[in-house]
Amino acid sequence: MKQLFPVLLLATLIFSCAKKNKYLAPDKNNGGITLPEKFGAIVVVDSISRGRHLTINSNGDIYLHLSRLTTEGKGVVALRDTTGDGRADLVKGYSGITGTGIEVHNGYLYYSNATRVYRSKIAEGNLLPDKARDTLVHLVEGGGHQARNFTFDDKGSMYVNVGSLSNCCEMSLRMPHTAGDDPCKELETRAGIWKFDDHTPGQQQDLSKRYATGIRNAVAMSWNFDAGKLYALQHGRDDLHRYWPEYYTEAQNTELPSEIFFDLEPGDDMGWPYVYYDHLQKKKFLNPEYGGDGKKTDRTEKAKDPLLGFPGHWAPNDLIFYHGTLFPSKYKNGAFVAFHGSWNRLGHEQQGFKVVFIPMKDGKPSGDYEVFADGFIGPQPITNPANAFFRPCGLAEGPDGSLYISDSQHGRIWRVMYYPDGIKETVNRPLYQPEIKKEEEEAPDELQAGHLVYNTYCAPCHQHNGQGAPGMNPPLVGVSLVTGNKTDLINILLKGYDKKDKIAGQTYQNIMPPHAWLSNQQISDVLTYIRQSWGNKAEAVKVEEVAKARGAGSTR
């Protein structure tokens, strides 16, 4: 028996090494994305639902948080590769809680929704966590930015992002030329990072736990263990031109304000809502809601300087620091950022939709950022983010140093690997192929007047094809609010709409402001246009019907 033990040990080592050194062929064309030379991607899973953040356990199990429940009513999906080919062959749903934040930490799966952070124990060897869960944190309720992503340090603390309720703390939400609340009361419970214990149930959010403030929405956030600091990127404000056209052009609106990358110490203030950053001029400016005009720099001295600024409306949705050894040494301790793409470019070509790399040294960027993964949009430019083939949202590092990327459109997950000797072969297998959608169709002559009003005042939010922006602005295609009762629809334009009812099965963050300043003819034209475009087939709205809804005696 003693002689047999070394033989068994040797056999085990040979098998382990063979398994470790097994060549995993990437998918042809990397499953639809482009990567640097000698990098390849395997599609781990395809089209499971709208994925947000993801996390990897030490044994390689993957947990993906969804923004929409699966058909089985699950908001978290657990995945395991049992064959070693890089693809998930065991896929199981867990929990009915949708959201953004998700992490494996100290033997638990942590996950959040808009008002809570939960954790469930993962027994060793099990794929699914226990059904029982602790509620660690109770967070402020309300609308606005509802991603409650989080990260952990190595000292027992958890940091939770609580995004703003508003665009720029306006006293009248989403209304042009509206002054900002001063001081902004939102900052007491929103637009910042809160610090909690990572193990104590029933914690409550209050000012004593606020770690940093003046951060509109930091969906991309991570603790940097190399630097011993918290880092994040902010979603910048919207609508500089549409709300303040006397100060900003459409061209400026597509690039400003910057999406900023910053490190955080306790008590730091990044300046929102009073200040924004311009990466083109490398300066901070006063927001117009507080008296700014695109030139004033009042109140900027109190806001911390960012480390980097990216073009506006790229929408950074995840951040990780790379600690593995699979990738070349230049990537060690550097930052990967997933840019999800946004909607606020006023119908111009959309940007973002890529994963970039930021080299880091001593806790600071040591060079320019570079695009690492691209091609998510598909073969043609788009003006509507909903028309992107894929939208990178979550990032995670696997036990072997692979980089995992999740997609929020269809639920594809890529595993990116480095091949130092070059890629020997690829696998050509059928994958879900998104449909190429038409950006806009020309309106018939009788709808041209409404088409003009729509493109001027409605398309920036609802897009030229009426598809809206997921999670932000609802679609106008096949929606009963659009094709149903005409008086109700007219009143939405006259009075605005701020209900949190589901539209086409989803809730949307933005508030529809009143458009009562439009004439009765303009409202008649534009409502007729949307009720008879993009496949909608509903009766025209008459000028007299708008006048009646507005009130007797109206001469508009």
pLDDT tens-digit readout, 15-50: 343 344 478 999 999 999 999 999 999 999 999 999
Band (330; pLDDT cuts 50, 70, 90): very high
Q: What is the pLDDT of residue 7?
A: 36
Which of 10-14, 21-25, 455-459 bottoms out in mean pLDDT, i.e. has the lowest?
10-14
For the stretch 489-517, pLDDT in tens is: 999 998 888 787 788 777 787 778 888 87
pLDDT of residue 176: 81
Q: Which of 17-26, 60-69, 175-184 has the lowest mean pLDDT?
A: 17-26
Q: Taking a C-beta distance cutoff of 8 angstroms, is the pair 375, 388 a contact?
A: no
Beta bridge partners of 416: 41, 403
pLDDT band at 344 (very low <50, low <70, confident <90, very high): confident
pLDDT in the model for residue 552: 52
The residue with greater pLDDT, 442 or 67, is 67
User: Which pLDDT score, from 0 to 100, does residue 353 have?
Assistant: 97
Residue 131 pLDDT > 80? yes
Instruction: Taking the CA atoms of 149, 76, 94 and 501 in sequence, report the sign of the dihedral they define.
Output: positive
Span 276-286, mean pLDDT? Answer: 97
pLDDT at position 13: 36
What integer is the mean pLDDT of 132-139?
96
Predicted local confidence at residue 316, as pLDDT: 98
Mean pLDDT, the chain, rounded, equals: 91
Neighbouring CB atoms inside 10 A of 166's CB total 25
Q: In the predicted model, what is the mean pLDDT of residues 462-468?
A: 85
Beta bridge partners of 285: 276
Q: How far apart are CA 384 and CA 342, in angstroms?
A: 9
Q: What are phi and psi of 403, to 5 degrees?
A: -105, 125
Judged against a pLDDT cut of 50, whether residue 463 lies above it is answered with yes
Mean pLDDT of 305-325: 97
Q: What is the mean pLDDT of residues 362-380?
A: 96
Using the predicted structure, report yes or no on whether residue 188 has a pLDDT greater than 90.
yes
* pLDDT at residue 12 in the model: 40
| Predicted confidence (pLDDT) at residue 106 exceeds the cutoff of 90 | yes
Query: What pTM does this model have?
Result: 0.88
Residue 468 makes CB contacts below 8 A (sequence gap 6+) with 386, 461, 462, 474, 475, 476, 508
pLDDT digit string (tens) for 244-268?
Answer: 999 999 999 999 999 999 999 999 9
Angle at 8 between CA 4 and CA 9, to 5 degrees: 115
pLDDT single digits (tens) 194-249 = 999 999 999 999 999 999 999 999 999 999 999 999 999 999 999 999 889 999 99
Residue 556 confidence (pLDDT): 57
pLDDT surpasses 60 at 291: yes
10, pLDDT greater than 50: no
Number of neighbours of residue 106 by Cβ within 10 angstroms: 13
What's the CA angle centered on 377, arms 458 and 401, to 5 degrees? Answer: 135
Q: Average pLDDT, stretch 261-286?
A: 98
Answer whether 120's CB lies under 8 Å from 97's CB. Answer: no
Range 179-187, long-range pairs (CB < 8 A, 24+ positions): 179/289, 179/290, 180/273, 180/274, 180/287, 180/289, 180/290, 182/290, 184/273, 184/274, 186/273, 187/213, 187/214
For position 461, what pLDDT does the model report?
82
Count the Cβ atoms, other than its own, within 10 Å of residue 315: 27
* Residue 323, phi-psi category: left (phi > 0), alpha (psi -120 to 50), beta (remainder): alpha
Total residues belonging to the chain:
556
Helix (H) or strand (E) holding 9: helix 4-20
- Which pLDDT score, from 0 to 100, does residue 504 have? 77
Whole-angstrom distance, CA of residue 168 vs CA of residue 170: 5
Q: In what order do the strands lie in the sheet with 192-197?
A: 150-152, 157-162, 192-197, 210-213
Lowest mean pLDDT among 101-115, 181-195, 406-420, 450-464: 450-464
Domains, the chain:
26-418 (2.120.10.30), 445-550 (1.10.760.10)
